[in-house]
Amino acid sequence: MSLAQLAVASILLTPALMLKRFLSPSHEYSSSVGWSVMRLSSTLINQLRAFEAVARQGSFKRAANELSVTESALSHHVRHLEQHLGIALLRRLHRRIEVTEEGQRLCAECTAGLQTLERAVSQLALSEAEHTLTISVAPYFSARWLTPRLGRWWERHPDIDLQLRHAYQPADFLHDRVDAGISWGHGNWEEAEVRKVLTGELVAVCSPALANALARGSALQALQRQRLLCEFDRQHWDAWFRNAGHAVSRKLDVIVIDDSHALRRAALDGHGVALFFRGLLQEDLASGQLVQLQEAKVNPDAAYYFVRPKGKPVGARLAAFQRWLLDEVRRAPFA
C-alpha cells in the first residue's frame, strides 16, 4: 500500500471514530439504526467536512469561501447530515446561525480529527520526500557489526538516507518513529515479524595475561577460583562448566555487568573471565586482545534479530535494507 493509500485509509477511518465518540450509546447500538450511521461513504465524509467548516466559521458564507463551494451546497450537506443523525446541529436564525450543544461536540471532534490527519499526511509526505529510512539498533551490535559495514551500504544505495537510532530496548513500533530494528531478545515479539541476524551463543574469553596464568595446572579447576563475569544470568556460568564437561565443585564468584561495552572492557583489562557473544569477538580474537578458553558455548535463548512491524507493507527503502543486511549475514556472519 502506498503512502497515498494509507492517508486515504486514515481519512476514511477518522469520521467513524468521531461519530462513535459523539453519538450516544442508543445511537451506536440501536436495533433499527444499528451500525449504519458508522458506514463510511464519500457522501458522509463530505457532509462532515461541510458541517465542520460551517460550525467553526459560524457562517455559511465564510465556510463556502474556505471550501470553494456554494453556500447552497453546504446547506444541503448539513441538512442531510442532520437528517442522517436525527439530531439538530445548527439553529438557523435571521442572518446568522447558532451551533447546538450536540453540534459543538461533533464540531470539536471533527476539527481535532481533521487536524490530526493533516499532520499525519504532512509527516508522511515529508518522510517520503526526504528518502529517509530509520533503523533502531542495539548499540553494541551497531558498533561491532553494523557500522563497520556501512560503506558497502552507501556504495549500493547512495540515494537512501539511513538514520540509525541506538536503543537498548527492542524497537517499539507503536511509540517510536522507526521503520525497522535490529534488536537483542528472544524473538517472540507479537507485533513484529522477525528474522535472526546473529547467534546469541556465549563463549568464555579473557586477557592474554590471565589466559597464560590459567594455562598453568588444571585450567578448568583454576577457572572456578577466578572472578567470572557475565551480562545476563549467573546461571550461564554453571551451564558453561557443564558444557565443558567439568563439574562445579565450589561456589562461583560471578559478577553481572549488564552492558556489553563495559563487560568487554573488564575482560580486556584482565578483571576476570567473561562470557561474551561468540559472533562479536572475531576482531578481538584475531588481534590477540582477547583469548577464548575452551570450545564450550552457552545458549542464552536469545539472539540479534531483524524486526519490522507485522502486517505493514514493506516499502522500497526498507526492502533494500533488508536485502543488504541478509547479504552481509551470508557474506560474513561474525564480526
pLDDT tens sequence across 185-237? 999 998 899 999 999 999 999 999 999 988 865 778 889 999 999 999 999 99
Q: What is the pLDDT of residues 103-117, one digit of tens each?
A: 999 999 888 888 888
Q: Name the segment(s) of the chain with CATH classification 3.40.190.10.
A: 131-199+303-331, 202-298
Core vs surface per residue 48-78: b (16+ CB within 10 A) or e:
bbbbbbbbbbebbeebbeebeeeeeebbebb
Segment 247-268 shows an average pLDDT of 94
Question: What is the distance between the alpha carbons of residues 271 and 282, in angstroms, rounded to a whole number?
Answer: 20
pLDDT value of residue 19: 52
Say if residue 9's pLDDT is above 50: no
Report the alpha-carbon angle 93-96-101, nearest 5.
75
Q: What percent of the chain has pLDDT over 90?
A: 67
Contact 153, 108 (CB under 8 A): no
Has residue 256 got a pLDDT over 60? yes
For the chain, give the percent of residues with pLDDT over 70: 85
> What's the pLDDT score for residue 24?
44
pLDDT in tens, 11-64: 444 444 445 545 544 344 343 444 344 555 788 888 999 999 999 999 999 989
Average pLDDT of the chain?
86
When pLDDT is cut at 50, 70 and 90, the band that residue 3 belongs to is very low
The topology (CATH level 3) of 202-298 is: D-Maltodextrin-Binding Protein; domain 2 (3.40.190)
pLDDT of residue 12: 42
Per-residue pLDDT of 132-156, as tens digits, reads 899 999 999 999 999 999 999 999 9
Domain 3-128 fold: Arc Repressor Mutant, subunit A (1.10.10)
DSSP of 139-150, one letter per residue? HHHIIIIIGGGH
Task: Write down the pLDDT at residue 219.
Answer: 77
Q: Is residue 319 over pLDDT 60?
A: yes
CATH number for the domain formed by residue range(s) 131-199+303-331: 3.40.190.10
- Which regions of the chain carry the CATH code 1.10.10.10? 3-128
Give me 123's grid cell: 509527516
Place of cell 525497522: 180
Q: What is the pLDDT of residue 126?
A: 61
What integer is the mean pLDDT of 256-273?
97
Burial environment of residue 233 by CB neighbours within 10 A (0 to 12, 13 to 18, 19 or more): middle
